[in-house]
Structure formats: C-alpha cells, structure tokens
C-alpha cells in the first residue's frame, strides 16, 4: 500500500519511523531488533535510508596514506524488502542523486518494482569529498527534482531507453523539505519554489527535516499552502539525547534549538538528565503536533529505538 493512501485514509495522525542500515560487515539482526521494538505501535510505513560511497584516507604501515572508496552502509534495498515481508509493514526506500547514475537508479527502481515495494523517497543526498567518475555513456540526476522526474517517467512507462516498450511502474514518491531552509538555498522563499517544482513534477507527499520548534513547522506549512503546495507535509522529529547534539545536529542538518532547551541541556548534571530533558521536550512537541492534527509524525529513530519507544508509550499512542 502506498504512503499517500495511508495518509488520505487516516482519521488521526499516523506514526512512522526512519532507520539506517547497519555498517558494512555487520549483521542485520541489530536492525531487526529495532524494528521489532517499533512494530508494537503498528506503523504503516518505515523509511530505510541510503548511503553513497565516500572516500577516506587510510594510513599505511610506512606512514603513507592511501585513498579508499567504500559504501559504509550498503544494503538498503535488501533490508527494505526483508523488513516489508518479515514484519508485514510497508517500507520507503531512500534513493539518492549523489553517488548514483540515472542508469543505476533505473536498475534499482526495476528491482524495487519486482520486489513489490511501492514507496520511495527521492533525495539529492549530501555532497561529499568523493566525486564519482561518470562514464561517457552514463548520466546523472543533479537535483532531487530530476530524480522525481525520472521516477515519474517510469510511472508513465518511459525508461531511459526511449525505444523500450515498457510497462508502467507505480511508485509513490516522497520528498524532503527544510522548514529552516536548506543551507544551500538563497532564501526560504526560493527553497519553497524548488519544493513546489518537486511536487509539480510528481511528488506525492513531503517529510520535513527534523524540527525542534513547532512554530517553524506551522509557519512553513502556511508558506507552502500559499505557494500552491497542497500535498501532505509530515513533520520530522528527533529526540535530543546528548549534549553533542547541540553542535552536531545544526552542523549536519541546518536546524536550530529553542533557547530554553539549550539552557536546560547545558545545565544538566549528566547524560541521563539530558535524555530526560530531551524526552520531556519532545513529548510536549509531539502532543502539540497531534492536537494540531498533522497528517503523520515521522521519528528519526536511526538505531536508537528505546527513547522513541518510551516517548510514544508515555503518550499512550
């Protein structure tokens, strides 16, 4: 079943989760244990992130360094299929522009279609130090809107080989949004214009970057509606569980924190108190979003299910 169908049929806000594949060489059992903890809440769908190859420098015994190209977390498609059929839950597979050619993307979408996975999240992906070498007969999607276009074309039976008599795929397409503006966008208004392009090209719904101030989400939704964006806009929630989050989350995700949350975290006596503060703050935030009848609350679980589980149980959802 498609995400947009769940959203359209729901009478109350839904709950969804996002997880990441294990590191290369690690067993998927750790992910299955996380999913098992989350399935008690009967989520309609679970997102599985994707990660492109990156470069790292490895020091050799003689003191020299060699450059190694590797994908730290492969296996998104296989893990998504395993979760879908093991736990009878829909999975949303993240697809990236960065690090993948359009030809590789088409192959991935063909695989997903064969596996019966109907939901994908179209993302540009983070820019890294490693730039993949593209062969002359290969092409790339530069931006998420290009990826949305490719998926939409396949939904119309239009593949890269325009002479191919192909059957249509039927993917539901999600895209990302940034209530506090993407760090590369010149302004929030420009960011919303780019977002509308993705929706006009075929995106069915939107999930925001993590937010810690609901006012920014509500204001963002108002701006989107004024710009003609009418698809569901799902707020993303991340529980703050460490002092390090105060610096790492803004640096990597271009988010900000309310002043009172920052003060309370800095005044906390230990990590346990930080988790309590983060949990209490998130609870109030989620309660407000539920009361506002948002379409869904999307929790960025990654590989830390216990804090999210405690929060949801405390809310009685």
In the predicted structure, residue 63 carries a pLDDT above the cut 50: no
Average per-residue pLDDT for the chain: 92
**DSSP one-letter code for 171:** -
pTM over 0.75: yes
- Residue from 38, 37, 105 nearest 76 by CA: 105
Do you know the residue count of the chain? 317
CB atoms near residue 83 (< 10 Å): 22
Q: What is the pLDDT of residue 226?
A: 98
CB atoms near residue 314 (< 10 Å): 13
CA distance 66 to 278: 41
**All residues at 6 or more sequence positions from 221 whose CB lies less than 8 Å from its CB, including other chains:** 233
In the predicted structure, residue 100 carries a pLDDT above the cut 70: yes
CA distance 103 to 125: 17
The answer to whether the CB of 83 falls within 8 A of the CB of 46 is yes
pLDDT digits (tens, 9 = 90+) for 35-48: 999 999 999 999 99
Lookup: tokens for 42:
């009967």
Q: What is the pLDDT of residue 129?
A: 58
Lookup: tokens for 127:
């820019």
Q: What is the pLDDT of residue 253?
A: 87
Q: What is the pLDDT of residue 139?
A: 92
In the predicted structure, residue 53 carries a pLDDT above the cut 70: no
In the predicted structure, residue 55 carries a pLDDT above the cut 60: no
Lookup: tokens for 285:
């935030």
**DSSP one-letter code for 101:** B
Strand partners, 121: 94, 174
pLDDT digits (tens, 9 = 90+) for 280-317: 999 999 999 999 999 999 999 987 899 999 999 998 87
In the predicted structure, residue 65 carries a pLDDT above the cut 50: no
- Residue from 87, 70, 21 nearest 49 by CA: 21
Lookup: tokens for 19:
């997880």
Mean pLDDT, residues 249-272 = 92
Q: What percent of the chain has pLDDT over 70?
A: 92
**DSSP one-letter code for 61:** T
Chain CA centroid to CA 18, Å: 7
Q: What is the pLDDT of residue 130?
A: 56
Domain containing residue 48: 3-315
pLDDT digits (tens, 9 = 90+) for 178-211: 999 888 889 999 999 999 999 999 999 999 999 9
Task: Count up the domains in the chain and report the number.
Answer: 1
Q: How confident is the model at residue 67 (pLDDT cuts 50, 70, 90)?
A: low
The domain that holds 65 is classified in CATH as: 3.20.20.220
Strands 54-59 and 65-70, how do they pair?
antiparallel
Mean pLDDT, residues 230-257 = 93
In the predicted structure, residue 1 carries a pLDDT above the cut 80: yes
Q: What is the pLDDT of residue 5?
A: 98
Please give the angle made by the CA atoms of 235, 238 and 244, to the nearest 5 degrees: 145
In the predicted structure, residue 255 carries a pLDDT above the cut 50: yes
Mean pLDDT, residues 6-22 = 97
Mean pLDDT, residues 210-232 = 98
In the predicted structure, residue 62 carries a pLDDT above the cut 90: no
The answer to whether the CB of 310 falls within 8 A of the CB of 279 is yes
Q: Which secondary structure element, helix H or strand E, spans residue 191, and what is its range?
A: helix 188-201
Angle at which helix 259-267 crosses helix 271-291, to 10 degrees, equals 160
Residue with the larger pLDDT of the pair 181 and 91:
91
Q: Given the structure tokens 């539920």, which residue do they identify?
A: 290
Return phi, psi of residue 233, to 5°: -120, 110
């Amino acid at each position: 079943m498609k995400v947009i169908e769940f959203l359209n049929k729901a009478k109350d806000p839904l709950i969804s989760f996002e997880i990441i594949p294990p590191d290369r060489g690690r067993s998927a059992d750790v992910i299955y244990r996380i999913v098992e903890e989350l399935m008690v809440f009967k989520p309609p769908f679970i997102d599985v992130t994707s990660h492109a190859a990156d470069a790292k420098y490895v020091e050799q015994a003689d003191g020299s360094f060699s450059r190694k190209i590797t994908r730290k977390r492969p296996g998104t498609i296989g893990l998504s299929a395993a979760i879908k059929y093991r736990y009878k839950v829909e999975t949303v597979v993240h697809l990236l522009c960065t690090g993948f050619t359009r030809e590789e993307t088409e192959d991935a979408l063909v695989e997903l279609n064969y596996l019966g996975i109907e939901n994908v999240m179209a993302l540009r992906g983070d820019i890294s130090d490693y730039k993949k070498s593209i062969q002359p007969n290969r092409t790339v999607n530069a931006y998420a809107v290009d990826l949305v276009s490719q998926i939409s074309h396949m939904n119309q039976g239009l593949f890269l080989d325009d002479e191919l008599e192909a059957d249509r795929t039927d993917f539901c397409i999600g895209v990302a949004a940034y209530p506090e503006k993407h760090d590369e966008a010149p302004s929030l208004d420009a960011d919303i214009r780019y977002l509308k392009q993705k929706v006009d090209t075929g995106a069915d719904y939107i999930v925001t970057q993590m937010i810690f101030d609901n006012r920014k989400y509500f204001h963002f939704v108002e701006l989107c509606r004024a710009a003609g964006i009418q698809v569901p806009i799902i707020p993303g929630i991340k529980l703050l569980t460490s002092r390090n989050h105060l610096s790492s989350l803004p640096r990597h995700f271009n988010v900000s924190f309310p002043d009172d949350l920052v003060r309370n975290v800095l005044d906390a006596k230990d990590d346990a108190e930080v988790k309590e503060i983060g949990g209490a703050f998130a609870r109030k935030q989620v309660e407000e979003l539920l009361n506002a009848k948002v379409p869904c609350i999307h929790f960025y679980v990654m590989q830390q299910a216990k804090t999210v589980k405690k929060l949801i149980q405390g809310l009685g959802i």
